[in-house]
Amino acid sequence: MIAAAVLAALAMICAVAAWRLTFARWTWRAPRTAILLWQSLGLTWGLASIGALLAFALDPYRKGVVHGLAEFLLSVEFGVRQPYDYLRLAALVAGLSLLAVLVALPLAAGAQTLRARRRHRLLLALVARDEPAVPGVRVVDFPGAAAYCLPGLKSQVVISDGTLHLLSSAELEAVLAHEAAHVRERHDLVLLPFAALRRALPWSKLVRDAQASVELLVEMAADDRALQRCCPRRLATALLRFGTSAALPTPQGALGVSAPSSVMARVDRLVRPEVALPAAHRFLILAGSVVLATSAPLLWLLPG
Cβ-count burial of 40 within 10 angstroms (0-12 exposed, 13-18 middle, 19+ buried)? buried
pLDDT of residue 80: 57
- What whole-number percentage of the chain has pLDDT above 70? 94
The pLDDT value recorded for residue 251 is: 82
Q: What is the rounded average pLDDT of the residues 79-105? A: 82
* pLDDT score for 72: 75
Q: Which residues contact 245 (CB under 8 A, 6 or more apart)?
A: 144, 145, 162, 166
The residue ranking higher by pLDDT, 14 or 301, is 14
pLDDT of residue 33: 96
Q: How confident is the model at residue 89 (pLDDT cuts 50, 70, 90)?
A: confident
Does residue 225 lie within any of the structural domains? yes
pLDDT over threshold 60, residue 107: yes
Residue 125 CB coordination number (10 Å): 9
Residue 76: pLDDT band (50, 70, 90) is: low
Sign of the Cα pseudo-torsion (196, 200, 203, 206, in order): negative
User: Which is it for the CA torsion 89, 94, 99, 104, positive or negative?
Assistant: positive
In the three-class reduction of DSSP (H, G, I as helix; E, B as strand; rest coil), residue 229 is classed as coil
Helix (H) or strand (E) holding 159: strand 156-160
Give the strands of the sheet with 138-140, arranged side by side.
128-130, 138-140, 156-160, 147-150, 255-256
pLDDT at 83 over 60: no
Q: Would you say residue 254 lies in a domain? A: no
Q: Mean pLDDT in the chain?
A: 88
pLDDT (average), residues 250-271 = 82
Residue 259, pLDDT score: 65
Asked if residue 84 has pLDDT above 80, the reply is: no
- The answer as to whether 170 is a domain residue is yes
For residue 48, being part of any structural domain is answered with yes
Q: Is position 278 within any domain? A: no
Query: For residue 89, is it within any domain?
Result: yes
DSSP, residue by residue, the chain: -HHHHHHHHHHHHHHHHHHHHTT-SGGGGSHHHHHHHHHHHHHHHHHHHHHHHHHHHTGGG-SHHHHHHHHHHHHHHTTPPP---HHHHHHHHHHHHHHHHHHHHHHHHHHHHHHHHHHHHHHHHHHEEE-TTSTT-EEE--SS--EEEE-STT-EEEEEHHHHHHS-HHHHHHHHHHHHHHHHHTHHHHHHHHHHHHHH-TT-HHHHHHHHHHHHHHHHHHHHHHTTTS-HHHHHHHHHHHHHTTPPPPPTT-EES--GGGHHHHHHHHHSPPPPPPHHHHHHHHHHHHHHHHHHHHHHTS--
Taken as a whole, the chain contains a residue count of 304
pLDDT at 224: 93
- Confidence category of residue 258, pLDDT binned at 50, 70, 90: low
- Summarised one tens digit per residue, pLDDT across range 130-145 is 888 888 899 998 888 8
Q: Which pLDDT tens digit goes with each residue over 137-181?
A: 999 988 888 889 999 888 899 998 889 988 999 999 999 999 999
Q: How far is CA 218 from CA 7, 169, 222, in A?
A: 30, 24, 6
The residue segments making up the domain with residue 84 are 2-244+261-272+283-301
Residues 6+ apart with CB under 8 A from 283: none
CB 145 within 8 A of CB 243: no
Reply yes or no on whether the pLDDT at 245 is more than 90: no
Task: Report pTM.
Answer: 0.90
- Domain membership flag for residue 46: yes
C-beta of residue 42 within 8 angstroms of C-beta of residue 193: yes
> Has residue 119 got a pLDDT over 60?
yes
Q: Rounded mean pLDDT of 266-271?
A: 92
Whether residue 47 lies inside any domain: the answer is yes
What is residue 286's predicted lDDT score, i.e. its pLDDT?
Answer: 95
What is the C-alpha radius of gyration for the chain, rounded to an integer number of angstroms? Answer: 23
pLDDT in tens, 183-206: 999 999 999 999 988 888 889 999
Query: How many percent of the chain have pLDDT more than 90?
Result: 54
* Domain count within the chain: 1
For residues 199 and 42, what is the distance between their CA atoms, to the nearest angstrom? 15
Lowest average pLDDT, out of 5-9, 111-115, 253-257, 281-285, goes to: 253-257
| Mean pLDDT lowest among 29-33, 42-46, 88-92, 183-187 | 88-92
pLDDT value at 74 more than 80: no
